Structure 1
Amino acid sequence: MNLPRIAIDAMGGDEGVRVMIEGAAIARRRHDRFKFLLVGDETRIARALENHPGMAGASEVLHATDVVGGEEKPTQALRRAKTTSMGMAVNAVKRGEAGAAVSAGNTGALMAMSKLALRTMPGIDRPALAALLPTLEEHDVIMLDLGANTDCDARNLVQFAIMGAAYARSVGIRAIPRVRLLNIGTEEIKGTDQLQQAAATLRGAQGLDFSFDGFVEADKINRGDVDVVVSDGFSGNIALKAIEGAARFVTDLLKDAFRSSVRSKIGFLISRPATELLRHHLDPNNHNGAVFLGLNGVVVKSHGSATADGVAHAVAVAAKLLENDLTQRISADLAELGEERLRTRQDGGA
């Protein structure tokens, strides 16, 4: 299958052009079907491409004179969408010149530009930011929203559940994903009115390609018992940062412990295969690539500090969503649930 080319914002991220081009090249070596539209300073891109001759026949360069700053406000960035590498990459998707866009730049600016250029899908009120997180099992868990919408009603949460489940099927986590709402307890009586209303709608839904398993608490997100965790952006972002902080705490604690004495250093050498496996499992580069779900197009956000391998992973996520036609999957599930039924449930009807 020939995939549409992927627009790469070559100027985004902490290291910019070098890492973004190297990441695209790694993705290309792993999957030679990938083709790219590289957006940014053409001189710097050409210099980076010299180290990756295999990219020449698979890439086109689109010169951009401007870059979105890491601390720039979304409203300011929107005014320069037509001249920045980020804005031009997103607009390439809008014009059909690329099937997806990948950027490691300013998250708020990328969301604002993507929403303005691509608009939300019919039946979706707000796009959500979704990411893959590691679990104790072989599969990852998808969590959304992670900060795009700090205040959500029950209708938003139901739409997030549908989008998250479609994403889980697209990346091969499970054919019938297990979906849960993030809550302060698993009992049906716990949680806000919005959570209770969303749960009632999801419990009563028929014919959807996912199973709704009620609520999940934050300490169970990474156990492997759930495939999609749905939350408002405020709670989801806090939970994500707590998980990332705990992972860094554990790895730093192990480093300090193994350096504490000669005996500890010997113990490290003996246990090195296990610690390397742990490091690989917790490495955010192996789970890189958050997705703006609910737009009329695929936009993937790479972490700003991602390595080239991390960028390659984000590119692979974008390609997989294109290959599995994520937007069509979401549309089909929305149609199955039905707009009128969703409205009736949220209004408290039967």
Structure 2
Amino acid sequence: MNMPKEPISIEVLGALVRVGPGAVHEVGSFFQKAGSKKVFIATDKGVVKAGLVKSSLASLEKARIGFELFDEIEPNPSDRTVMAGAEIFKKTGCDALLGVGGGSALDAGKAIQVMAVHPGHVSEYFGVAAASKINPRKPYYIAVPTTSGTGSEVSRGCVITNTATNTKSVVRAGLPQLAVIDPEMTLSMPPFLTAATGMDALSHCIEACVSNAYNPVCMALGLEGIRLIGRSLKTAVQKGSDLEARLDMAVASMMGALAFQKGLGAVHSLAHQLSTEAGIHHGVANSILLPHVMRFNLSEASRELWEVGRALGENVSSLSAAEGGERAFAAVTRLSREIGLPQRLRDVEVKESHIPLMAKKAMGDWCHPFNPRPCREADMESLYRTAY
């Protein structure tokens, strides 16, 4: 697949995507076509400091569209930040949103989009059951990712930290009206962040492929995402200026998020607790846990894991499903090590004494019911200890 020389539009599973080098320079024209007058920009201070908002601002100014810059979004965005952003959106007369950043900024933008036009507190919209309360007529939202991991730009949900319970909750906000995937926006991502977000994308693809739900379209997207990551993640980490590798990773991230409409699994239920209880980067948490959960799932998903191994470039054609599955999680472990990520929970200073509480909270997480092998609390605790 050759990299497009100029941005192109694609639509898949309801998501409208503008992809290619330079696509970010078009955001102003898209807001203009939507009739937007003033855009609320959801981002964080690191993205602003890195100069990654400049192209969007120039495009808005060229289109003569006003803006309000909100750069207070933290990693694992909280309900408090969402409510503060929604209040500013309303007070400053904004009528559209632009999210620029990693998954935290894009997720916070989706939640702010909801609360800009809905009453009450964002916690009233947590969970799948609350989705019916969300009016689909929301402000126009363009999402511009600056990392290649979460795929938030093409996912219907947004993950928000519930400060009352110190747990992560989902708001089914719906898709952004447009995702702008410009590999040039990821060129300045440092090697460690490239590695961590890349493993996040890989965990999305793999968990989607082995989930217990039936969706062959999502399976195909997940396998292609795995292939692209296997081909390009090391290059993106080691040679960050390689635009084709950056595009592969950006597209794979998008594919992972589209694929996990099929469901995620125990990796994410375990990783969510590491973020809220221990402050571990979500991609790092996924990277540490992924091979252990793959091994745990081998008895119920050997054929799917064989496919994962093949997508990663392993020679599994003459191997049994179980042998191919073993190759798959060995390949994931090797990749994680080669790109310099921590291998054990103790390496990121997780306290062993926190494991029982995290295992209990993991059982209340929304992801593990899609795991191919059912999980008990004892299994969650065992997986944490195996990864420790």
Query: Given the two structures, how large is their TM-score scaled by the length of structure 1?
Result: 0.31
TM-score (norm 2): 0.29
Whichever structure has more helix as a proportion of its residues is: 2
Q: Which has the higher contact order (CA 8 A, sep 6+)?
A: 1
- Radius of gyration: which is bigger? 1
